Structure formats: structure tokens, C-alpha cells
Structure 1
Amino acid sequence: MDPLSFLLQPPVFYPIIPYACTIFGGLRPGRMILIQGSVGTSATRFQIDFQCGCSTRPRSDVAFHFNPRFSSSDNAHIICNTMRKDHWLDELKFSGAPLKKGESFVLLFLFLTDKVKVSIGGHHFLDFTYRLPLKDVDAVGIYGDVTIKEISFLSSNPFHDELTPYPFCPPLKSGSADLQKTPLSKTFPMGLSDCHAITVRGLVTVNPDELTLLLKSSDSIPFKLTANFQDQSMSYNSFISQSWGQPQNVQTPFFLFYPERFFEILLLPEAGLFRLAINGTPVGEFRRPVFDLKSIDELQITGSAGLFLVQC
């Protein structure tokens, strides 16, 4: 198992253009990159390249070239292409892009198994089918007449990549005013159901001790995840019929939480089990003999983290 696949990359703020950076762990289906910025008032073009490395001589292959171009008309058109062995392939043109000189924008790139989907301002705009393998893409470069406010690296549902819609993707910001403190509780008046995905994104504190996530019903705790920073262990457990079960260790190549590092927990309940992914990578299942998902009516998070998003 590749340790890099567990790293949730921190956002980049106000990079100097031209700018290129490595994508931790490379791209894979379900990965998303959110880019916020503004177009120059006299801009003619800018480009975002998803590259196979950061080499300039010879130049790295560009798997997906996203190139807005501006004229005297209100909206831009976008050229998409691939460069292989220093040669551009046939370009595709998409007209009527809602990008304008002197105005801000939000771009979301959602990478699926066979194509990338691009939304502009929260609305889908184009699909581009890969011409180079997605697994080879491990860098992003930004060039041209543009100011970038933020680049955020996000994960989606690792269990159902092809079914992933455009999600609500607020970027992770250290010191954000929207930071929620723990303990935090969220209720489910109608209970849970199969594949009712629960996403928790946050930032570990400076001197962490323990982080706990509980799913509760009126008289039981069908699921408890504990990350212990003292002995660097993770475990599942449950409290049913007035007693705790035997803790089950979460088997990973190394401890997945670090002080002042971002994390994402995805919990997917199914009949008789809970499936868990951390930072976009599945890390196993927790099974209990019998429990009713509909009876689970509360999510509770406690411990050494600030929370940016709790989505159910």
C-alpha cells in the first residue's frame, strides 16, 4: 500500500504565477481539485495543466490542458488538449465559458476513471476524456494572466467513484472563522440508511491526545472510531446490550493523523457493517452481529480537532 495515498494535501494560498506543485499521491478516480482566483483585467489567456511531472527540459507530458482564452466578447472559450512527448494532440474547443476579464472564479476538477469533469462557478461546463493514464498525473501547473487565491486538494467517495456527483467542496482553511470546535453533535431524525455517507473534514490540534467519532442510538453505540495519538493506534468498538465489545484495530501501514494536519473521514453504513475511508483511501470494515440503521439518530465527534465540514 502506497503511504502517499493517505496524505491529504494542505491548500496552497496565493501562489506566485507561473506556479507548479506536486499532487501528493498523484491523481486517482474520485480526486478533486478546487481552484479559486480571478482573471486579469487585460487578460488574453491563462492555463491550468495537469502534468506527468514538473520537468521543463524535456517538458513533462500534459495529460489535461485547460486553457481559457479571452477576446472582446463577454464570455471566454476554453481550449482543452493533451501534450505527449512535446507534441500537442488535437485540441477541443468549448465556447461560452462563464469566465470574464477582471472577475473572480471557482473551478472544480473532478477526476473519474475515464474522464475529468469541470465545473465553473458550481455549474458543470465540460467533460474531457483522458488520452494519457490518470495514474501518471502527479503535478499541476498554472500559467498566464491570472491571480490564484487558493488551490484545494479534496477527496470524494472512494467506494463509488463513477457515481460521485459534484459535491459541495468548501476548501480547508487553517484558522478559518467557520472552524467548529469539538465536542460536536449532529442528529438524524429519520435515522440512517444503507450507503448514507458521512463525511468529516478537519484539522488536528497542535498537541493532540485523542479523536473519537461515535454513532449513537437511544440505548447503544453501534460504531465508535478512536484515534489515539499517545500510542498512535486506531480502533473500532461498539456498545450494545449494555456492554462494550472487543476493540478491533484499524490496520494501516502507519498512523494516519498528525498534529496540525488536515484529515478527511468517510463512513459508509451498510447492512451489518460500516465501511471506513481516511483521506480518500479505504481502510477496512467494522462488522457487528445485528443492528438497525434506522435506530441510529446521532453523530458525535470529540477530541483533538477543529472541524471544517460535517456532512451527512
Structure 2
Amino acid sequence: MSTETQLPIPYRSKLTDPFEPGQTLMVKGKTIPESKRFNINFHSGSPDLEGGDIPFHISIRYDEGKFVFNTFNKGEWMKEERKSNPYKKGSDIDIRIRAHDNRFVIYADQKEIHEYEHRVPLSTITHFSVDGDIILNQVTWGGKYYPVPYESGITGDGLTTGKSLVIHGIPEKKGKCFTINILNETGDVVLSFNSKIGDKHIVRNAKINNEWGNEEKEGKSPLQKGVGFDLEIKNEAYSFQIFINGHRFATFAHRTNPEGIKGLQISGDVEITGIQLFDPTEIKIVYLRCVGGEVGATSALAPKVGPLGLSPKKIGDDIAKATQDWKGLKVTCKLTIQNRVAKIDVVPSAASLIIKELKEPPRDRKKVKNIKHSGNLTFDTILKIARTMRPRSMARQLEGTVKEILGTAQSVGCTVDGQHPHDICDAINNGEIKVPEE
């Protein structure tokens, strides 16, 4: 389940955790009729091609009609491995790379096309990148080994209405059938998804109060032996909506209360590569440091917002617009993200508030270092900034926060009512200047 965002090319990202056996990197996008080739690389130490080893390199070549696999180690390319390119120019791209202890398995459109034995340890991989002639829409990384039969609770408050459960799997090449059951907290099977691999139909049913109901089997099964699938089960108020590989497959009306769904069972001839729970109402908060009015580097934004379904390029543009009033100043931005939409708020520091009040013209921070701000502020302005910063102050009273702001003003280099900020602090301590109660 994803939105059509366009990610920057070249795309660079650092792995937040080590690449473990069982995990999968998924790359989705589209090529254009003029596409010649694009590359997917796993890097050691640096995401740049000139910066270190490339434990695994895939070059998708339309000019040669080949997939080329290789490793760049100790300054040299090793022996290539080649396979036919199943994609045509202008087609949608879905490439998945699954790591195992001794090899990578590569899938194109969910079909296995190659196995590549590790030439350097998997543990050395720190970054990955995508570059070349591709419109990149989605990059995800995750998963693990799941034992089958598999039984687990569904995290949090379960599969409540509005949420979607997504299961990535591969029916075994010599398998016969597999079953996915969704259970409520009383043990009822509220949805049974039973696939006889290669059969024309997928049987849906429910087992309520220990009794199976009527089977539903409308719709031709798109599942094939040895070919991966993405199954999404969305819990709506009156039914489950079932999607396979991004296409609506069936609707299964609820036969009991749609709440309290907290269990998952998987059995049969299937390999599970990933399980995810999506909640469109979930709110995530991300803080980013930036320079006001400037578009941040997409390579820096990508690892932070890309996994949340956001376009780093769009977020960079939105941050630049939201921080126009803080042009040239270092500020923190708070991203409130819900259902892949981000609301941006500026969370200024005391120093940036002071510099903004000095009304100095924007300066190029890359060219002008260690700026001394010799302007003057009124005590009323200091008081206004203190009230703004009050929720983040460690002081018990407003007077303490005012002293904190005066300390920042001293660091910035400005005066307050023509006096040194330290002299204003002394005047507050002596009772000559009164700070009003909150």
C-alpha cells in the first residue's frame, strides 16, 4: 500500500539498522521510452560511487537488454553475472532484493530472476542508492524470516476499522495451498483467506461461535506458484476490502463485530517476507533542522521522510516556503504527519527569535561565518521572546525565562535598551526592573 510520490534521482539513503538476512529492499517506479539504464547499489561506508566498496550492484540495461550483477571491491569490479531484462522501456518497475545468509535473491515483478552469492559480508552494507533513467516512486526496506505455521497478535489495539494489514509472501513452487486467518479476541475467525495454489478461486469464509459460514469464492485468483504477492486486508465499517498486488480483489461483509480483531494465523505452503499494519489516523512527529527559506538536500531528507511515504523533494520545497520569514536563520521544523500528509511548523530557538527581531538582512551563512549581531532590542521585546519560549524553559517563573533570554542575547552580541544584557540581569536581581507575573 503506497502513494505515488516521486523521489529524487540520484536517490541516496543510509540504513538505520544493519541489513539482516530475511530483509527485503523494494524499488518501484517507471521508465520512459528514452530510458537506457538505471542502477541499484548497496554501498559500504559511503553512498557515493567513488566513496568505497559496492557489495552488490544491479544495472538494468535497456540498451543491452540485460540485468547485470556485480561487486566493486578494493577498487576493482569483479566478474559480471547477466540475465535477460524482462522489462520494456516505459513500463512500471517492481524490483525486490531479498537477503539471505549467503546470497541475494532478486525478483522482477514478483518473479525470481537470479540468485547472487555474497562476495563480501552482508554486514558491511551501510547505504543504498538508485540512479539513472527511472522515475522513482517508492523505496522500502524491511521484513524478516517468518516461520510457517505463523501465529501472532496484531500490534497495538489490533486491526481496528480504518486500518490495513499488508502481508507480503511467495507461494511455494511445489506447494498446494495456504491459509491466512484473521481472528478476534474471542477466538472467532472473522476472515479466512484460503488459496489452493494454481486453482481458479480463493475461498473466503468466517468461523463464528465455532461454526463455519457460507463460502465466498467469486473472482479469479491472481496467485501463482513461486510468484510473490502483496495482500492488503482493509477493515472498513461494514466489510473487509481485499486487495492483491494493488488491485481490488474482493469484499467480505463482516459477520460479527468489526472491532477487537487482534490475531493472525498463517499456515500452508507459503513463504512470508513481510507483515505491516497501516493506520491512516496515526500521527507521527518528525523534527528537522534547516536554514530558513532554503530547500534542504533531498539526500538528507530522504532517510527521514521517505519511509513515511513522503516525497523528500516536495517536503524540501514546503519547508522552504514555511520558513520564508526565517530566511537565513537556523531553525527547527516540526513535521506533523498523518496519512502521508505533512503539516510544517517552525519551532524557533531563542537565538533565532532574537536575530529575527534585530531585523538584519539575510546573509549567506556559507560565506559569512561567526556573525556578530551588534543591534539593540527593547526590554519589551525580550519579554515577548521569553513568553514565546516559556513552554520550553526550565525556569520556574517568567523572570527566570527572561534571564535565559538575556543570556542568549549576550551570546548573540546585541544590547538591550542600550545596555549590556548582563547589566539588565543585575537590574532585575536588584529590583530595579520588574518582570510581570505570568
Instruction: Give the TM-score, by structure 2 length.
Output: 0.37
1:80 paired residue number: 69
Aligned sequence identity (%): 18
Residues 1:17 and 1:199: Cα distance change in structure 2 (over 3 Å) = closer
1:183 paired residue number: 259
Q: CA deviation at 1:167?
A: 5.3
Alignment partners' CA distance in 2, 1:41 and 1:195: 39
The reply to whether residue 26 of structure 1 matches residue 18 of structure 2 is yes
One of 127, 131, 139 as aligned partner of 2:119? 131
Q: CA deviation at 1:206?
A: 2.6
One of 131, 134, 144 as aligned partner of 1:146? 134
Match runs of 1:2-17 below 5 Å: 13-17=5-9
Of structures 1 and 2, the larger Rg is shown by 2
Match runs of 1:101-120 below 5 Å: 101-120=89-108
One of 86, 90, 95 as aligned partner of 1:98? 86
Residues 1:132 and 1:36: Cα distance change in structure 2 (over 3 Å) = same
The reply to whether residue 69 of structure 1 matches residue 61 of structure 2 is yes
* RMSD between superposed Cα atoms in Å: 4.1
CA contact (8 A) 2:35 2:134 kept: yes
1:284 paired residue number: none
Q: CA deviation at 1:98?
A: 1.2
Instruction: Give the TM-score, by structure 1 length.
Output: 0.50
Task: Name stretches of at least 5 consecutive residues in structure 1 with no aligned partner.
Answer: 1-9, 172-176, 208-260, 263-304, 307-312
Q: CA deviation at 1:112?
A: 0.7
CA contact (8 A) 1:28 1:135 kept: yes
Alignment partners' CA distance in 2, 1:80 and 1:89: 10
Q: CA deviation at 1:93?
A: 1.2
Alignment partners' CA distance in 1, 2:3 and 2:78: 31
Alignment partners' CA distance in 1, 2:48 and 2:57: 16
Secondary structure of residue in 2 paired with 1:135 = helix
Alignment partners' CA distance in 2, 1:39 and 1:151: 15
Alignment partners' CA distance in 1, 2:260 and 2:76: 53
CA contact (8 A) 2:29 2:136 kept: yes
Q: CA deviation at 1:105?
A: 1.3
Q: CA deviation at 1:65?
A: 0.4
Q: CA deviation at 1:27?
A: 0.9
Q: Which amino acid aligns with 1:144?
A: G
2:386 paired residue number: none
Secondary structure of residue in 1 paired with 2:123 = helix
More strand by share: 1
Residues 1:170 and 1:81: Cα distance change in structure 2 (over 3 Å) = farther
Match runs of 1:20-59 below 5 Å: 20-56=12-48, 58-59=50-51
Secondary structure of residue in 2 paired with 1:27 = coil
The reply to whether residue 205 of structure 1 matches residue 269 of structure 2 is no
Which one has more relative contact order, counting CA pairs under 8 Å at least 6 apart? 1
One of 168, 183, 198 as aligned partner of 2:229? 168
Q: Which amino acid aligns with 1:80?
A: F
Residues 1:11 and 1:35: Cα distance change in structure 2 (over 3 Å) = farther
Aligned length: 187
Q: CA deviation at 1:131?
A: 0.4
More helix by share: 2
Q: Which amino acid aligns with 1:168?
A: F
Q: Which amino acid aligns with 2:73?
A: R
1:300 paired residue number: none
Q: Which runs of 4+ in 1 moved over 3 A?
A: 10-13, 55-58, 164-171, 191-200
Q: CA deviation at 1:157?
A: 2.1
Alignment partners' CA distance in 1, 2:51 and 2:136: 23
Residues 1:170 and 1:53: Cα distance change in structure 2 (over 3 Å) = farther
Could you give the per-residue CA deviations for residues 44-83 of structure 1, whole angstroms, max 9, x where no partner exists?
11100011132548522111100011138xxx31110000
Alignment partners' CA distance in 1, 2:266 and 2:88: 43
